[in-house]
Amino acid sequence: MPLAPAFRERMRWKMALPVGPGVRGMYFVMNLSFSFMYLEALLQGS
């Protein structure tokens, strides 16, 4: 999954934006869920 690093960078960039706490929290949850899906895919691939 070569898109993962770019996706994480994009999420980190959005987290750095001066947005409201609700939006930042939403991005944080999305980032967490994506990280878990990515880890699961890695574990299943090995």
The residue ranges of every structural domain in the chain are 3-45
The pTM of the full predicted model, rounded to 2 decimals, is 0.41
pLDDT interval class at 4 (50, 70, 90)? confident
Residue 16: its pLDDT value, please? Answer: 62
Provide the H-helix boundaries in 1-46: 3-16, 21-45
Q: Do 38 and 1 contact (CB within 8 A), yes or no?
A: yes
Does residue 37 surpass a pLDDT of 60? yes
Does residue 25 surpass a pLDDT of 70? yes
Amino acid identity, residue 31? N
Average pLDDT of the chain is 77
What distance lies between CA 27 and its chain's CA centroid?
7
